[in-house]
Amino acid sequence: PSHPLVLFMPSGKRGRFPVGTSVLDAARQLGVYVESVCGGRATCGRCQVFVQEGHFAKHGISSAQDHLSPFGPKEERYDRVRGLPEGRRLSCSTQILGDLVIDVPQDTVVNAQVVRKAADERVFERNPAVRMCYVEVEEPDMHKPLGDLDRLLEALKRDWQFERLDIDVHLLPKVQKILRQREWKVTAAVHHDRAADSARVIALYPGLKNEAYGIACDIGSTTIAMHLSSLLSGRTVASAGTSNPQIRFGEDLMSRVSYVMMNPDGREAMTAAVRDALNGLIDKVCEQGGVSRTDILDSVFVGNPIMHHLFLGIDPTELGGAPFALAVSGAVELKSSDIGLPMNEGTRTYVLPCIAGHVGADAAAATLSEGPHRQDEMMLLVDIGTNAEIVLGNAARVVAASSPTGPAFEGAEISAGQRAAPGAIERVRIDPVSLEPRFRIIGVEQWSDEPGFAEAATATGITGICGSAIIEVVAEMFLAGIISEDGVIDGALAARSHRILQNGRTFSYLLHDGEPRITVTQNDIRAIQLAKAALYAGVKLLMDKQGVDHVDRIGLAGAFGTFIDPKYAMVLGLIPDCDLEKVKAVGNAAGTGARMCLLNRDYRREIEDTVRRIEKIETALEPKFQEHFVAAMALPNKVDHFPQLS
């Protein structure tokens, strides 16, 4: 046929093109992202594709190697110098001769598994905000007075089809020298502004510059995690994390806000602390990845509203009380050097939008990653910290709220609670007849009733209960009948088990009879009840808003979500009834969302549009919150049923 059919995988986009069209052009016309730095000169090697051979009945295509033009001199030269992997072709230098099924290699897609899974099986295509564009600029001519810079911009517009193109001022004094360094051949790093049709040159390099990097970062109130990725191949080349140094000003968010309110330089000190930590992390990922700091050209940050404000140098005082006004809720785009993160002079920073005064850019990023707004099923997304950020919705409508769970789930208000560390109890089972417990501690393979446990545990000791296990202990106590539906430890059981101890007017449960003694007290159980009731009441409000009495799917984000067993969370009524198969830990979904925005600017628009549509519910103002809270104090709940548990 004179217009062969070309199908691109894995996106499935297809079209007919005249014989002789280059594969790269065909991809461009269909909006299939294939990287190219040299602009089709067969020197960068970024545009590689692969031809699938065979008869594809479903698509009505027979595809074979000879439906592409044979190796030409340019491809041969590239292959000789740089080497092309078996079967790969340079799409810029290959013409279409017949029907084709073309594979755009997915090894160039970063962490394809992670991102794809997180993005709900969608193929994760790249389209970074910063592109590297090689051009050959016309030399100056006495008869044409056009300036060097103007000829550079013209060449870029012509070869790379920019409608409007500008340049960062810091480059003005350097343009002439860079152009002359390699005979008028340069690579421009071009940043696409959020307004779709305008772009700016943010860095300029002599000759062909075939690499550029970006960082994606989740600023948590406890930990900060950063990933360094190649903007060209999409590969993640290094990852690092550190604890948030703001902890020294206050453990939880509200104490950090009060620190700002009480200390004249409090805001400055906390902003400096987080930026120092970020600069340290940038050095770390650069060292790990063998990348120069100046080669980082783009960056994306997410965080809860208070972290978001402090990172940007904004006073978070207004977030400390009603009406919880954000200084800025929309996405922010600026130069990294303006916020004390020097990398390349032109490096850009993108910060995702915040959903509400208590529901931040981290929740927005998690939403982008898990995609409730992209599916028909009603999905609940929960991220538990000292505040639980809750998102509930589907393609039709998304609502969000936060709930003041307090730090009990992190083991804070629990008498024997501790951070996850060797020696901490992480799993518990209680025999419903004898009321005897067995448990496992971090750092030891065996359960406490298995041979070899005692010897193995001498190294670490048995030190406390780690945050994620608190849920399990209380749920097991409930299942064994030690605590009632109201959460009261049954003192009558003291008559038949030495595990039930009396202290004053209440009782406690002896989990480990040794040094130190580890008990679960009535107060501990109250703290868990209060936290879980707050969480559940928030979820319930959102379910009311959606008019549903059950959810189809639950994603538990963050460290807490990774470690708790969904069954126990449901036994205690932390989360609403749901098919247990469909309750999943989604890991650091916020970090994944940040990375998606780094590698594909279309996701920036998607989350900005979505956040604008999300309805924010202020739990404190909802009269029904109290009612739901009281019902949720019971185990698992006074009024709601959990058919999946029976």
Residues that bind ligand FES (CB under 6 A): 36-38, 40, 42-47, 90, 92
Three-state DSSP class for residue 322: coil
Indicate the residue among 40 and 487 with the shorter CB distance to ligand FES: 40
Q: How far is the CB of 113 from ligand FES (least distance, A)?
A: 27
Q: How far is the CB of 81 from ligand FES (least distance, A)?
A: 12
**CA dist., res. 187 & res. 167, Å (int):** 13
Indicate the residue among 84 and 479 with the shorter CB distance to ligand FES: 84
**CA dist., res. 183 & res. 110, Å (int):** 35
Q: How far is the CB of 93 from ligand FES (least distance, A)?
A: 6
In eight-state DSSP terms, residue 493 is G
Residue 480: name the closest of 518, 528, 436 by CA.
Answer: 436
Indicate the residue among 46 and 131 with the shorter CB distance to ligand FES: 46
Q: Token pair for residue 629?
A: 């809270």
Q: How far is the CB of 382 from ligand FES (least distance, A)?
A: 44
Indicate the residue among 45 and 372 with the shorter CB distance to ligand FES: 45
Percentage helix, strand, coil, to 5, in the chain? 35, 25, 35
Residue 569: name the closest of 478, 494, 484, 497 by CA.
Answer: 478
Element (H, E) at 436: none
Three-state DSSP class for residue 175: helix
Indicate the residue among 88 and 309 with the shorter CB distance to ligand FES: 88
Q: How far is the CB of 69 from ligand FES (least distance, A)?
A: 14
Q: How far is the CB of 585 from ligand FES (least distance, A)?
A: 40
Indicate the residue among 27 and 392 with the shorter CB distance to ligand FES: 27
Q: How far is the CB of 46 from ligand FES (least distance, A)?
A: 5
Q: How far is the CB of 570 from ligand FES (least distance, A)?
A: 53
Q: How far is the CB of 205 from ligand FES (least distance, A)?
A: 15
Q: How many helices (H) and strands (E) does the chain have?
A: 17, 30
**CA dist., res. 359 & res. 329, Å (int):** 10
Indicate the residue among 37 and 475 with the shorter CB distance to ligand FES: 37
Three-state DSSP class for residue 226: strand
Three-state DSSP class for residue 514: coil
Indicate the residue among 90 and 270 with the shorter CB distance to ligand FES: 90
**CA dist., res. 392 & res. 557, Å (int):** 13
Cβ proximity of 163 and 195 under 8 Å? no
Sheet containing strand 464-466, edge to edge, reads: 417-418, 464-466, 424-430, 437-441
Amino acid at 48: Q
Indicate the residue among 46 and 267 with the shorter CB distance to ligand FES: 46
Q: How far is the CB of 216 from ligand FES (least distance, A)?
A: 26
Q: How far is the CB of 166 from ligand FES (least distance, A)?
A: 24
Amino acid at 415: S
Q: How far is the CB of 162 from ligand FES (least distance, A)?
A: 17
Residue 571: name the closest of 635, 481, 639 by CA.
Answer: 635
DSSP string, 325-390: --S--S-EEEEGGGGT--SSTT-EEEEPPP-BTTB-HHHHHHHHHH-GGG-SS-EEEEEESSSEEE
Indicate the residue among 90 and 531 with the shorter CB distance to ligand FES: 90
Q: Token pair for residue 212?
A: 């550029």
Residue nearest to ligand FES (CB): 92
Indicate the residue among 85 and 516 with the shorter CB distance to ligand FES: 85
**CA dist., res. 564 & res. 61, Å (int):** 49
Indicate the residue among 128 and 360 with the shorter CB distance to ligand FES: 128
Indicate the residue among 130 and 596 with the shorter CB distance to ligand FES: 130
> At how many degrees (to 10) do helices 266-289 and 253-262 cross?
130
Burial class from Cβ neighbours inside 10 Å (0-12, 13-18, 19+) for residue 81 reads exposed
DSSP string, 557-599: EHHHHHHS-HHHHHHTTSS----GGGEEEEESHHHHHHHHHHH
Cβ proximity of 361 and 308 under 8 Å? yes
Q: How far is the CB of 77 from ligand FES (least distance, A)?
A: 11
Q: How far is the CB of 23 from ligand FES (least distance, A)?
A: 10
Indicate the residue among 234 and 406 with the shorter CB distance to ligand FES: 234
**Residues forming a β-bridge with 300:** 216, 350
